[in-house]
Structure 1
Amino acid sequence: MTVTNGPDELESQFAQWREYVRRRPELIASDADELEDHLRDSVDELTALGLRPDEAFLIAVKRMGGLDDLSREFAREHSERLWKQLMFLGDSGDTATKATLRRDLIAMLVCAAGAALSIKVPALFGQHFDDEGTFYETNVALFTLPWLAGFLAWRRRAGLRLCAVLVALFALGVAGANFYPVADDSQSVNLIGSHLPIALWFVVGLAYVSDEVRSSRRRMDFIRFSGEWFVYLVLIALGGGVLIVFLTSTFDAIGLGADDFITYWLVPCGGMAAVVVAGWLVEAKQGVIENIAPVLTRLFTPLFAVVLLAFLVATGLTHGGIDVERENLVMFDLLLAIVLGLLLYSISARNPLAPRGTFDVLQLVLVVSALVIDALVLLTMTGRIAEYGTTPNNTAALGENIVLLANLAWAAWLLFSFVRRRAGFPAIERWQTTYLPVFAVWMWVVVLVLPPVFNFR
């Protein structure tokens, strides 16, 4: 931001700052005015002390902190108003804001309805939930994630080229889930069912970042979006569980069974729609649930660090190897994914300018412990593969552990450098956002490449 000394230039800078602040959906016009009043007061105080207007403006902006911090503060102080805006669009402030919220709400309802109806379409062609086979296992993400991506692309005003790429990637997912000649009891079908939703989630991420795909900041925003989306989805699921209990009890009381309606309509259609609704909630109310997810990461990071350290100590004392049978491989991969998730979301929620603290040391302990466990699992896996040969499962697991090992190794080094005051925090952010495409590529490799390589067994 370039600032000069004239009053007209200073007013121009205030106008630019005000426009930037108003981009945040949490802050209505009156909020921006209040923030601007604080900024002007601070500039006046600094110029009274003898600073030039340009110096006073820059220092005042820096004192106010980052825009995300400001919006989170306003979300906390005005949470009652924000939640009223969520349900009652008439309380949302100026006309432009209300129109935007209304358009987003309508778009969300259309996409949620589309997702809910999509999962019932196969029934028109004789494919039902209680049929034998793995059709729904491999296709479940394709019923809802394209609608969520469509909502995000519409909200971002994505260009035609990006929309074409999104359609092509989802079509590729449809091909991988349905056109491969895999048996229902094959390892390949299990790999497709477990990895395709993750691969498609990265396609949702592409819709989220839209035309800023190379932006590290937008990729970090998507990580934050993913964490908040998960929290909202869990809350919706808990509410849906309570609804099902009451629905079952009340209809049983009058002698009517609601089991078929719950099994074939409420759960599948509601589950598909909830994925879209959760995404809309994150977009509409950024900064409200954001206060919950960082608390969860700060709670579970030390707990997971203790558990991993205890596991390593127990492994050393017993002198026993790690069992790398399929069930245990899934468990270790899930454990490492959770560790990575805790790391990613804590990074996305952290103020880059905050000083180093105890929590950063705990993160380093967590990552190093996960790194050691990953190395032990890889060592055992390579021995088993050398002895018994490769299978689709152990090849996928081997690749995932290598991908995670590379990520955790460099993340541990960057965290160590940060704790030792030899590097800044932005380097950690850049590494994680730069590495996201590696995860996406491997997921697609597992879905599209490994099945034919192993002859679909």
Structure 2
Amino acid sequence: MTEGQDELEAQFAQWRHYVQRRRELRQTDADELEDHLRGSVDELVSAGLHADEAFLVAVKRMGSLDDLSREFAREHSERLWKQLVLTGDTDGPVADTRSRRDLFAMVVCALGAAASIKVPELFGLEFERDGAFYAPNAALFAFPWLAAFLAWRRKAPRALMGVLLALFALGAVAANAYPLGEESMSVVLTSIHLPIALWFVVGLAYVSDDLRSPRRRMDFIRFTGEWFVYTVLIGLGGGVLIGFTVGTFSAIGISPETFVGQWLVPCGGMAAVVVSGWLVEAKQSVVENIAPVLTRLFTPLFTLVLLAFLVAFGISSGGIDVEREALILFDLLLVVVLALLLYSISARDPLAPPGLFDKLQLALVVSALAIDVLVLLEITGRISEFGTTPNKAAALGENIILLANLTWAAWLLLGLVRRSTPFAALERWQTTYLPVFAVWAWIVVLVFPPVFGYL
């Protein structure tokens, strides 16, 4: 079997795997659909098309004949399939009904998220006053509703729904059961790490239609980036709305600060989390054109910043400040580098040859690795000299986890640039490593407070 035939059979296997997941189809139906698809591919190959081109055209033809094939093309992560298949008419009755149902489910979940953040007021808590409560609990007001929307859209099994509820309940216990003071370092750590842990619970709802698929995990990475873009855009629009609200009402002698601070900001923020998820699901073609451009723009900029920092560090004689704010800053910097790498991987054509951008990514990762090593040396030195704190222990663990991830990613990127390692190996490494981040976030939230005496 030739290499082209191997790739074609792999595409048939992906399509067949999708069809077999549909409960409403019997095995004989799936076999009939595959026979029809193979016949179309054979005809197109005989007409002079390459095998991969024939497959894409055949899927497009089936997309116009069969709603199942159209849905497969819609949900499959390969952008080329979506561009080819979804260019036809999508305003049919089935698609229109599904869009209305998704919209209704989104509105219900968004209203639920908006109402959830007002529930603590029934127990005497206020959003503007009780920051020590709302900071660690913020994600618990919105993420369960976003997960509910995604699980409903994916038709998640009941057993998995129970797992999702249990994990969110565990998060609620972690945020509220420990006797933490307002100045406790564990409050800050929980406020940072609990949203990360719960976001992976949202990811579990996102991949509930195929839990074991590495491709679906990569889809969730892509979803995360697109959700972030939409959330930022909604936030910017909300800022403009708040400005106009305050300005216009103040002009007539009415002070809207109470409404803005107690209703518009908290309720709108929680609802925006769900709305952004719905927008990613419903309007992917818009962000798919924006997000890759953002990665192409910021990857070279961050590479220059990291290289400039390393040069400045080499010239200067001072060390790195590893107090709490600096630790958070450096960890965020490394997370941003990892996010740029992950999102560029998710948007990359797997079959494209290595190019200049891949070399630029290698430089970015190597620069981040060098900074990671420098920070690790500083942290271990301070711990050995002054002892550990929750912040330093969390930063140490996170830097070790990032060091392992980025080290192997750099090695795979080097192999990709040298054309000795396939791109699939890099993609598989990142999707396989995702649970490590989730486990560490849960450890910080659940284990650190009692281990460090609730400091």
Indicate the residue corresponding to 1:242 in structure 2.
240
The count of residues paired between Structure 1 and Structure 2 equals: 408
Indicate the residue corresponding to 1:103 in structure 2.
101
Alpha carbons 2:230, 2:279 under 8 Å: kept: yes
Indicate the residue corresponding to 2:125 in structure 1.
127
Instruction: Go from structure 1 to structure 2 and tell me whether the alpha carbon gap of 1:304 and 1:57 turns closer, same or farther (over 3 Å shift).
Output: closer
Q: Give the whole-Å Cα distance in 1 for the aligned partners of 2:429 and 2:174.
A: 30
Instruction: Go from structure 1 to structure 2 and tell me whether the alpha carbon gap of 1:67 and 1:337 turns closer, same or farther (over 3 Å shift).
Output: closer
One-letter code aligned to 1:47: S
Instruction: Go from structure 1 to structure 2 and tell me whether the alpha carbon gap of 1:56 and 1:187 turns closer, same or farther (over 3 Å shift).
Output: closer
Q: Could you tell me how far 1:99 is from its partner in structure 2?
A: 1.0
Q: Could you tell me how far 1:155 is from its partner in structure 2?
A: 0.6
Correspondence 1:71 to 2:82: yes
Correspondence 1:188 to 2:182: no
Alpha carbons 1:182, 1:188 under 8 Å: kept: yes
RMSD of Structure 2 on Structure 1 (CA): 2.4
Q: Give the whole-Å Cα distance in 2 for the aligned partners of 1:337 and 1:320.
A: 24
Secondary structure, aligned partner of 2:284:
coil
Indicate the residue corresponding to 1:411 in structure 2.
409
Secondary structure, aligned partner of 1:438:
helix
Alpha carbons 1:247, 1:258 under 8 Å: kept: yes
Q: Give the whole-Å Cα distance in 2 for the aligned partners of 1:177 and 1:356.
A: 45
Alignment equivalent of 1:386, drawn from 344, 360, 384:
384
Q: Could you tell me how far 1:211 is from its partner in structure 2?
A: 4.2
One-letter code aligned to 1:362: L
Indicate the residue corresponding to 2:27 in structure 1.
none
Indicate the residue corresponding to 2:156 in structure 1.
158
Q: Could you tell me how far 1:423 is from its partner in structure 2?
A: 0.5
Secondary structure, aligned partner of 2:321:
coil
Alpha carbons 1:108, 1:277 under 8 Å: kept: yes
Q: Give the whole-Å Cα distance in 2 for the aligned partners of 1:249 and 1:103.
A: 37
Q: Give the whole-Å Cα distance in 1 for the aligned partners of 2:105 and 2:210.
A: 22
Indicate the residue corresponding to 2:314 in structure 1.
316
Q: Give the whole-Å Cα distance in 2 for the aligned partners of 1:330 and 1:307.
A: 17
Secondary structure, aligned partner of 2:254:
coil
Secondary structure, aligned partner of 1:98:
helix
Instruction: Go from structure 1 to structure 2 and tell me whether the alpha carbon gap of 1:278 and 1:133 turns closer, same or farther (over 3 Å shift).
Output: closer
TM-score, structure 1 as length reference: 0.84
Q: Give the whole-Å Cα distance in 1 for the aligned partners of 2:364 and 2:258.
A: 46
Q: Give the whole-Å Cα distance in 1 for the aligned partners of 2:448 and 2:40.
A: 63
Q: Give the whole-Å Cα distance in 2 for the aligned partners of 1:133 and 1:379.
A: 34
One-letter code aligned to 2:46: T
Alignment equivalent of 1:369, drawn from 353, 361, 367:
367
Alpha carbons 1:43, 1:56 under 8 Å: kept: no
Indicate the residue corresponding to 1:177 in structure 2.
175
Structure 1 gaps, min length 5: 1-12, 24-38, 50-54, 82-91
Alignment equivalent of 1:218, drawn from 194, 207, 216:
216
Indicate the residue corresponding to 2:67 in structure 1.
none
Q: Give the whole-Å Cα distance in 2 for the aligned partners of 1:343 and 1:231.
A: 16
Secondary structure, aligned partner of 2:319:
coil
Indicate the residue corresponding to 1:272 in structure 2.
270
TM-score, structure 2 as length reference: 0.85
One-letter code aligned to 2:123: F
Alpha carbons 1:72, 1:288 under 8 Å: kept: no
Indicate the residue corresponding to 1:428 in structure 2.
426
TM-superposition CA deviations, 1:316-367 (whole Å, max 9, x none): 1223321211111111001000000000000000010011100000000000
Structure 2 gaps, min length 5: 1-11, 23-37, 60-76
Q: Could you tell me how far 1:74 is from its partner in structure 2?
A: 7.1
Matches within 5 A, 1:317-332: 317-332=315-330
TM-superposition CA deviations, 1:14-67 (whole Å, max 9, x none): xx79x97xx9xxxxxxxxxxxxxxx99986564246xxxxx9766512689995
Secondary structure, aligned partner of 1:352:
coil
Indicate the residue corresponding to 1:230 in structure 2.
228
Indicate the residue corresponding to 1:28 in structure 2.
none
Indicate the residue corresponding to 1:31 in structure 2.
none
Instruction: Go from structure 1 to structure 2 and tell me whether the alpha carbon gap of 1:186 and 1:48 turns closer, same or farther (over 3 Å shift).
Output: closer
Q: Give the whole-Å Cα distance in 2 for the aligned partners of 1:175 and 1:375.
A: 35
Indicate the residue corresponding to 2:135 in structure 1.
137
Instruction: Go from structure 1 to structure 2 and tell me whether the alpha carbon gap of 1:256 and 1:298 turns closer, same or farther (over 3 Å shift).
Output: same
Q: Could you tell me how far 1:184 is from its partner in structure 2?
A: 1.0
Instruction: Go from structure 1 to structure 2 and tell me whether the alpha carbon gap of 1:254 and 1:389 turns closer, same or farther (over 3 Å shift).
Output: same
Instruction: Go from structure 1 to structure 2 and tell me whether the alpha carbon gap of 1:48 and 1:310 turns closer, same or farther (over 3 Å shift).
Output: closer
Q: Could you tell me how far 1:231 is from its partner in structure 2?
A: 0.4
Q: Could you tell me how far 1:297 is from its partner in structure 2?
A: 0.4
Q: Give the whole-Å Cα distance in 2 for the aligned partners of 1:409 and 1:247.
A: 49
Alpha carbons 2:44, 2:54 under 8 Å: kept: no
Secondary structure, aligned partner of 2:380:
helix
Q: Give the whole-Å Cα distance in 2 for the aligned partners of 1:309 and 1:390.
A: 30
Instruction: Go from structure 1 to structure 2 and tell me whether the alpha carbon gap of 1:322 and 1:72 turns closer, same or farther (over 3 Å shift).
Output: farther
Q: Could you tell me how far 1:285 is from its partner in structure 2?
A: 1.5
TM-superposition CA deviations, 1:144-195 (whole Å, max 9, x none): 0000001101111101111111001000000000010111111111111111
Secondary structure, aligned partner of 1:351:
coil
Instruction: Go from structure 1 to structure 2 and tell me whether the alpha carbon gap of 1:104 and 1:133 turns closer, same or farther (over 3 Å shift).
Output: closer
One-letter code aligned to 1:318: S
Question: Mean Cα displacement is larger for which, 210-219 or 124-133?
Answer: 124-133
Secondary structure, aligned partner of 1:222:
helix
Instruction: Go from structure 1 to structure 2 and tell me whether the alpha carbon gap of 1:48 and 1:117 turns closer, same or farther (over 3 Å shift).
Output: closer
TM-superposition CA deviations, 1:259-304 (whole Å, max 9, x none): 1111111110000000000000001122321110110000000111
Correspondence 1:339 to 2:333: no
